[in-house]
Chain A
């Protein structure tokens, strides 16, 4: 028996000594983060041993790591021992239809305007709703099954498709990658798993709604999307959260694998509680999102509309390994009041003739700070690589900040890299022009901002684009004057 296994067994035994059995019934892990917490989560989810081992390795690695201090954001130190790392809704039996969903949970969804019924009936979108870390409903499963597509919660994937999980988990974002991805790897509660087999075009948009509900619960979602050769899928992630007083830590990891000729489009509308107008409360959103174009001609496209969270730290990236592969990043990041965002992307060109496009639109209002941070790296062998980056900043009022940090690492002389950046202020002239045509100032700003973001919005699926526009308008309410 290896020392590692000995250690695991030792801890498995101690677990019960510490009286976790009662906690298993209370559905809430005790406050704080130790190896016991990791074991608790894994046991709670009845996970196979390989996963527990992986979690523990991640946890031990995390203990050696330092919280990054390079982002252009400020917040009081986080006490990682003063948070809960697992919470599940009370009723947790397997559900066959939406009717079985807890009425209270459905009511909350209805309030948020994302009624599953409506989603199901009107949009033909398969919804995997994640609430408090555990999936409560999954729809359209049968239709997807016909095409051989797997779309389920991460926990289910662990049980039903352990080989796939074992093969791909951590293959794009290893637990050693960064502080938050290590933390996530150790304690992730649930998330989504999506597998599109060879040659299959997913017949519908796949969508997950995330919500944070229980107070003081760190959320650690884990998403894994695999598109086999020639497969394609469009994936939507959207989220809203209710009012909160305490800061909540959210450290998700999303991994995308695109094999030869595969296409993955990942769209996000993020609207977590940003804190009140004085900057109190709000979600800390430290996310690692990365895709890899493993095979030739693969394409991964990220589109994000970020309006929520007190602090956003997020760089959806693409590793362009296959020749002729394509990476895209379209982003709108809006900050208001005391919000802080440090977001951008990394495009890593390894294969020949790889191409990437970065369109980033930052909007700052109130006393907020908005930073774009982007890396374009062209490896020595990536001949013919091309990148185009456009980073625009829009300022509303004169107490906010916009910053751009572009990093270029070019090791191939034939590479073509272009970077454009602009900073503009919403002009009094533009607002007055709208006013004079009968449009009030709030609507005028909505129009102007939406116009500014058009290049990104047109990359979003239709219903998401409409939602994103509304969200921008709501987020900017009260930013004038």
Chain B
């Protein structure tokens, strides 16, 4: 589904990703872990198409097309979803209006008919259950006055409505208490299927107790330096990222 080859990316002139390689197939859950500043969020944002990220080299192929050629909304239409680390507030725009616009524009781009108000509301009522949220939530302005937990639940709710093929969760666990973490994880697990894939970007192993990954990758200094199964996450939790760094440093020293 996703093939990233030798990707190099700069933000405001600073190179962050330095030759990153990653392959994700349908049905898989990948966890990207690593220390702060390693490039985890950069990877998430560049996949979503954020403008200020400049691709210097490498390629990203998504279902056979060059992803970097697509604008952010075209990527969304193609099934890429980013759960934001810091969801943005948009005053005065209700969640239902926002989601209806998003869903119908996406459906239009896919050659599907727009949903009318009735169809739309019956769909989103169903999806609210996935994240255990009240209907009142739909008339609130996007993320305005939301608690940290509500913002993250809102991201997963939107993901449930838009049904992406490739979901990227950027530090979705940060700032969540254990109950909210369970709700969010439960939402993600409900949406897992053999046809879609999830990339979970996280600093802590904690989230991976709930969203169990098939692969764990360690991202340090703009490169994936180590990959493994879920046990790698536990090892990282135990020994910290310095252990990976030390291991990397050794061959160089030798």
Listed in ascending order, the chain A residues whose CB lies under 8 Å from chain B are: 427-430, 432-441, 443, 447-448, 450-455
B101 interfacial by beta-carbon distance below 8 Å: yes
B120 interfacial by beta-carbon distance below 8 Å: no
Asked if A438 and B105 sit within 8 Å, CB to CB, the answer is yes
Q: Roughly how many angstroms separate A452 CA and B75 CA in the complex, as a whole number?
A: 27
Within 8 Å by CB of B109, from A432, A437, A438, lies A438
Which of B82, B92, B102 has the most C-beta atoms of chain A within 10 angstroms of its own C-beta? B92
Q: List 8 tightest A-B contacts by C-beta distance, closest first.
A: A451-B92, A451-B93, A438-B106, A435-B72, A438-B76, A437-B102, A454-B92, A433-B88
Listed in ascending order, the chain B residues whose CB lies under 8 Å from chain A are: 48-52, 71-73, 75-77, 81-82, 84, 87-88, 90-93, 97-99, 101-103, 105-106, 109, 141, 158, 162
Asked if A436 and B91 sit within 8 Å, CB to CB, the answer is no
B29 to chain A, nearest CB (A): 20
Asked if A451 and B109 sit within 8 Å, CB to CB, the answer is no
Q: Roughly how many angstroms separate A150 CA and B253 CA in the complex, as a whole number?
A: 96
Q: Which residue of B lies closest to A446 (CB)?
A: B101
User: Given that A432-B72, A436-B76, A438-B73 are known contacts, is A451 also in contact with B90, CB under 8 Å in the complex?
Assistant: yes
Asked if B90 and A436 sit within 8 Å, CB to CB, the answer is no
Asked if B93 and A439 sit within 8 Å, CB to CB, the answer is no
Asked if B92 and A452 sit within 8 Å, CB to CB, the answer is yes
Residues of B within 8 A of A450 (CB): 92-93
Within 8 Å by CB of B98, from A435, A440, A447, lies A447
Within 8 Å by CB of A435, from B76, B91, B109, lies B76
Within 8 Å by CB of A427, from B49, B71, B88, B106, lies B88
Which of A427, A430, A435, A454 has the most C-beta atoms of chain B within 10 angstroms of its own C-beta? A435
Q: Roughly how many angstroms separate A212 CA and B109 CA in the complex, as a whole number?
A: 40
Residues of A within 8 A of B50 (CB): 432
User: Given that A435-B71, A439-B105, A440-B73 are known contacts, is A428 also in contact with B90, CB under 8 Å in the complex?
Assistant: no
Q: Roughly how many angstroms separate A429 CA and B48 CA in the complex, as a whole number?
A: 13
Residues of A within 8 A of B141 (CB): 451
Asked if A436 and B82 sit within 8 Å, CB to CB, the answer is yes
Cβ contacts A to B, 22 pairs, < 8 Å:
A428-B52, A432-B51, A433-B84, A434-B102, A435-B71, A435-B72, A436-B75, A437-B76, A437-B98, A437-B99, A438-B76, A438-B103, A439-B102, A440-B71, A443-B105, A447-B93, A447-B98, A447-B101, A448-B93, A450-B92, A452-B91, A453-B92
Residues of B within 8 A of A439 (CB): 73, 101-102, 105
Residues of B within 8 A of A429 (CB): 88
Residues of B within 8 A of A443 (CB): 101, 105
Residues of B within 8 A of A436 (CB): 48-49, 72-73, 75-76, 81-82, 84
Q: Which residue of B lies closest to A437 (CB)?
A: B102
Residues of A within 8 A of B76 (CB): 435-438
A432 to chain B, nearest CB (A): 6
Residues of A within 8 A of B99 (CB): 437
Residues of A within 8 A of B109 (CB): 438
Residues of A within 8 A of B101 (CB): 439, 443, 447
Which of A427, A428, A439, A448 has the most C-beta atoms of chain B within 10 angstroms of its own C-beta? A439
Q: Roughly how many angstroms separate A447 CA and B91 CA in the complex, as a whole number?
A: 10
Residues of A within 8 A of B71 (CB): 435, 440
Q: Roughly how many angstroms separate A428 CA and B88 CA in the complex, as a whole number?
A: 10
Residues of B within 8 A of A448 (CB): 90, 93
Residues of A within 8 A of B102 (CB): 434, 437-439
Within 8 Å by CB of A433, from B77, B87, B105, lies B87
Residues of B within 8 A of A447 (CB): 90, 93, 97-98, 101
Q: Roughly how many angstroms separate A429 CA and B158 CA in the complex, as a whole number?
A: 17
Asked if A451 and B91 sit within 8 Å, CB to CB, the answer is yes
Q: Roughly how many angstroms separate A452 CA and B73 CA in the complex, as a whole number?
A: 22
Q: Which residue of A lies closest to B168 (CB)?
A: A436
Q: Roughly how many angstroms separate A437 CA and B95 CA in the complex, as a whole number?
A: 12
Given A433-B84, A439-B73, A440-B71; 9 other pairs, CB 8 A cutoff:
A428-B52, A433-B88, A436-B76, A436-B84, A438-B162, A440-B105, A441-B73, A448-B93, A455-B92
Q: Roughly how many angstroms separate A453 CA and B141 CA in the complex, as a whole number?
A: 13
Within 8 Å by CB of B158, from A437, A441, A452, A454, lies A437
Q: Roughly how many angstroms separate A436 CA and B75 CA in the complex, as a whole number?
A: 8
Residues of A within 8 A of B87 (CB): 433
Q: Roughly how many angstroms separate A381 CA and B89 CA in the complex, as a whole number?
A: 45
Residues of A within 8 A of B93 (CB): 447-448, 450-451
A51 to chain B, nearest CB (A): 47
